Structure 1
Amino acid sequence: MSVLTLASAPEDATALETASMHHARLAGELAGRVRMLLTAVDRDGGAAEEIRRGLVAFCDRALLPHAEAEEAGLYPAAHGMPEARLLVESLIGEHRCLAALVDSLRAAPTPAGAAADARALQVLFEEHLAKENGIVLPLLAMTPEVSLAALLADTHRRLADDASVKSARGNRNTEKGHDMREEPVEESGGCGGVCACGGAEEAAEPELDVREVPHALRHATVFGALDAVPAGTAMVLVAPHDPLPLLAQIEQRSPGIFSVEYLERGPEAWRLRIGHH
């Protein structure tokens, strides 16, 4: 049965699809960052620590505010339905677990501990989204008395308001002399082994194999991984085909920031070294 058949109004069908795509982007970016952390733990403790900080910043900036906005803007309508009440209460409990895992990741004393917390966070978040995408959102979309489009618009407004408040707070603190940037300061120099300038060797570069990643998450997973690659280093991407559309999106998203070198061109896999200038 199609999404259009399940939804009680065309705008709710569109809202359902948009929400699922947004969830895919969040899950993909989280997966990419976690994959980079897991790889770095076995290779470079310093890089793992920097990736951990970036992962925590992503959770503070995107994942946790998303959960809070859902509780305020989306969950109340579903909680009012007898068939969804217990599920919504369990989802709220999962939000608390997600926040606890982020705090544990924030305070992890060792790279191995951070990796374990990050992987648990990823698994819980993906299972959480599966319940929302598979049950809560379709239930709201097919209920004539509920406008899923309006609920999601309110949720997005809350997210925007939260981002504005945090931005204003950060500006005030910066004026007082405090650096409130979420991401660590990136140092320039080197090419991550893309040329012969003495940068990191390929063997030390993390590898992201997206051949087994679901197609809906694939691009977002690569974006999340790239966001975790410090300037002056590189990662190796393994794809099931020549990722020309993805490379175009990377350039559009971050013009002139990344360089690409093909290491292998099929037929089973395409391997590319992507360097962060």
Structure 2
Amino acid sequence: MSALTVASAPEDALALEAAEAHQARTAGELAGRVALLTTAAGTDPSAAERVRAGLAAFCDREVLPYAAAKEAVLYPAARTMPDARLLIVSLVAEHRCLAALVDALREAEAPADAVADARALQVLFEEHIAKENGLVLPLLAMAPGVSLAALLTRLHDRLPSVETPRQPEPEPETPKKAGGCGCGGARKEAAIPELDVRAVPHPLRHASVLGALDAVPAGGAMVLVAPHDPLPLLAQIEDRHPGVFAVEYLERGPETWRLRLGHR
């Protein structure tokens, strides 16, 4: 069933599609960061720490403020509908669980603990938005006395301005060794984390890669594994980050494509 079929007004149909797309992008970015953390945890603890801190910052910036705005704007309107009342109670409880998992991720002392918290966070978030996209938003869009478009406008008014520049994500300090310069020149190059998008649902793939790239610092790199030559994705990356990422093909099909994306 299309959004135009379930919405009571054309503007609500467009608002429904936009809300679903926003949640899908957020889920994709979250999935990309979790995948990057998972691979980094097994190869490079310092990289894993950076990705963990970046993932927590992403949740503080994107996931939790949006959840709070939904509680303030969307959920009160949905609570008036008998079919949605108990569902909203459970969604509010899930927001508390999401916040607790972000706190646990932020305080994780070992990479394995961070990965466990991150995976739990990802699973809960994806289930949570599936309920919102599949039940809450369509109910609001169908209600004749409710304007979903107006509600979403009010919701976005409560969020930080999209024009606000994104703050750099935390960089771990490089420990100095006794008698050395501390520049790490004598160390082997850190293992490059890998993101295999073949296991990521197709609608989330581009967002997952873009989210993972946000966690790659200048001078760092990520290996992308894809089932085909990702030329449209590379064009999207260049459009979003002009001249920032250098692309090197490590493997060219026919079934697996591996690319090194280096942050200049």
Point out the more displaced range, 130-139 or 250-259.
250-259
Aligned to 1:184: 170
Corresponding residue for 1:243?
230
Stretches of structure 2 lacking an aligned partner (at least 5 in a row): 174-186
Identify the residue that residue 227 of structure 1 maps to in structure 2. 214
- Residue 241 of structure 2 is aligned to residue 263 of structure 1: no
Deviation of the 1:158 alpha carbon: 0.7
| Distance across 1 between alignment mates of 2:220 and 2:158 | 36
TM-score of the superposed pair, with normalisation by structure 1? 0.86
> What amino acid is the match of 1:71?
E
Cross-structure match for 2:183: none
Q: How much does 1:230 deviate?
A: 2.2
CA deviation map 1:58-90 (0-9, x unaligned): 011111001001111111100111110000010
2:49–2:172 contact (8 Å) kept in structure 1: no
Deviation digits for residues 172-229 of structure 1 (CA, Å, limit 9, x no counterpart): xxxxxxxx94512499xxxxxxxxxx9837xx22111112211211111001111112
Gaps of 5+ in 1: 171-179, 188-197
Match status 1:6 vs 2:14: no
- Larger mean Cα displacement after TM superposition, 227-236 or 100-109: 227-236
Cα distance in 1 for residues equivalent to 2:41 and 2:171: 20
From 165, 183, 203, the counterpart of 1:216: 203
Hey, what does 1:195 align to over in structure 2?
none
**Contact 1:186-1:231 at 8 Å conserved across structures:** no
Partner of 1:96: 96
Is residue 57 of structure 1 aligned with residue 44 of structure 2?
A: no
Q: Normalized against structure 2, the TM-score is what?
A: 0.90
Map 1:95-134 → 2, pairs under 5 A: 95-134=95-134
Contact 1:35 1:208 in 2 (8 A): yes
Distance 1:72 1:214 in 2: 30
* Distance change (3 Å), C-alpha of 1:215 and 1:5: same
* Seq. identity, %: 70
For the residues of structure 2 that align with 1:4 and 1:266, how far apart are their CA atoms? 40
Query: What residue in structure 2 maps to residue 200 of structure 1?
Result: 189
Q: CA RMSD in A?
A: 2.1
Pairs aligned (count) = 251
- Whether the aligned pair in 2 keeps the contact of 1:8 and 1:143 (CA below 8 Å) is yes
Change (3 A) 1:45 1:186: closer
